[in-house]
Every structure is written in structure tokens, then in C-alpha cells.
Amino acid sequence: MLFLLTFSSAEERDLFEYLYQKYKKLCLKKAYEILQDYSLAEDAVSEAYLRVYKNLHKIEDPDSGRTAAFLVTITRNAALTMLSREQKPLEELDEGQEDSFALVDFALSREFVRGAYRLLDQMDEELRHVFLLKFAYDMGNKEIARALNISQNLVGVRLHRAKKKLADLLVKEGFVGA
């Protein structure tokens, strides 16, 4: 039992340190884009990595794009939480410093998928985080609550609003029938 515990700990430690060293600059950049303060951004990354540590089992391939997206999702959420604590309104953010992800850069095969991406990008970021953790990473409400450091009730509220918003937009834009 102790052998297994030690083995598991070493594996976890190695994975965590690898993830940290590999993505810390990216995460710091993403946190800075929101907070505009390196010291606060470092705190946000620290907080985010602690949450990631508790969800290491969600990491299948540390080098995959999905892992990068997972880490950035948690980091940006931690930064947004810190921003709300600092009571800086989101409107202060420079539009140009928002996430630079541009869907049109990717050769997506179906109009529907492109449209759905655009709609997801339109969604409030905090709603999108919960939506992605639920549906892309298959996390339960309790896991999401722990990862984002919010109540399960708030996860439920955000998830419901995200689903409703996306469903409404899909219907409105004619991608699916009502």
C-alpha cells in the first residue's frame, strides 16, 4: 500500500511539475491579459495550479491542446475571480487583449461547427468556462465547483444559463429547429 502511495505520489508530482514548467508562461500571459498586473497574475496562476493539482486525474495527455485549454480555462477563471474581488469592472479590459483565439484561423469543415464556435465565443466567459468543463471535460458539478472555487449552486446557475443561451442562439441562427 505504501509502495503504491509513493509511486502514485511520484507520478503525480512529476506530472504536476511538468505541467507547471511547460505552461506557466502561457498561463501567466493569460492571467495578465485580464488583471494587467504581474504580481496579481502570478497569484492567479498560483491559485489556478492548486486547483489543477486537485484535478490531475483529468489530464490524459499533458502535451495535448486539450490540456493547454484546460489549464488556461482554470487560470482565466481564477484571474476573473480575482478581478471581481478587486472590483475592477470587466469593461476596463482592452478589447485587443481579450483572448486572441480566432476561430476563422482553423479549417473547420462544417458551417454548423463554425457557427457554434462563434456562438460560444459570444458567450460570457464565466458561463463558457463552466460549459466547457462540463461538456468537453466531462466534469460533474461538484468537480467544477472545486476547480473554479465556486458553489455547486452557482455551477448549476451558470450551466443552466450557458445551455439556454447557446440553445437560444442555435435556434435563432437557424442551426437547429426550435
Partner 1 sequence: MPNQNSDDLFRQIASDYVDAWGKSLQEEQKELEQDSALALHPRMDRKVLGQVAARKRRRTAGALGAVAACLALAILLPRASNMGMGSTSQYAASSTEQKAAEIARVPEALPDDQAFALAEPEEDRLDAQALPESTLEKESPAESAPLPEQGNGVIPLPFTLPEHLTILSAEREGEKSVYHLESSSSDPIVLTLESTSRFPDTEGLTPVDIDGQTVYTASRPEEQFLTFQKDGILYEMTCPSDLEALIALSRAILQA
Residues from 126 through 165 that contact partner 1 (CB under 8 A): 126, 131-132, 134-137, 141-142, 145-146, 149-154, 156-157, 160-161, 163
Determine if 122 is a binding residue for partner 1 (CB under 8 A).
no
Instruction: Work out how close the CB of 98 gets to partner 1 at its nearest, in angstroms, rounded to a whole number.
Output: 13
Contact residue for partner 1 among 100, 124, 168, 172 (CB under 8 A): 100
Rounded CA-CA distance 49/36 in Å is 19
Residue 135 grid cell: 461538456
Determine if 90 is a binding residue for partner 1 (CB under 8 A).
no
Subset of 31-60 contacting partner 1 (CB under 8 A): 42, 45-47, 49-50, 53-54
Determine if 13 is a binding residue for partner 1 (CB under 8 A).
yes
Rounded CA-CA distance 37/25 in Å is 14
Number of Cβ atoms within 10 Å of the Cβ of 50: 12
Q: Which of 122, 140, 121, 116 is nearest to 130 (CA)?
A: 140
Instruction: Work out how close the CB of 130 gets to partner 1 at its nearest, in angstroms, rounded to a whole number.
Output: 11
Instruction: Work out how close the CB of 174 gets to partner 1 at its nearest, in angstroms, rounded to a whole number.
Output: 14
Considering the complex, state which of residue 11 and residue 95 has its C-beta at the smaller distance from partner 1. 11
Q: Report whether 148 contacts 129 (CB < 8 A).
A: yes
- Residue whose grid cell is 506530472: 15
Contact residue for partner 1 among 20, 37, 93, 125 (CB under 8 A): 20
Rounded CA-CA distance 161/48 in Å is 24
Determine if 88 is a binding residue for partner 1 (CB under 8 A).
no
Q: Which residues contact 130 (CB under 8 A, 6 or more apart)?
A: 144, 148, 155, 158, 159, 162
Determine if 172 is a binding residue for partner 1 (CB under 8 A).
no
The DSSP output letter for 54 is: T
Contact residue for partner 1 among 1, 91, 95, 174 (CB under 8 A): 1
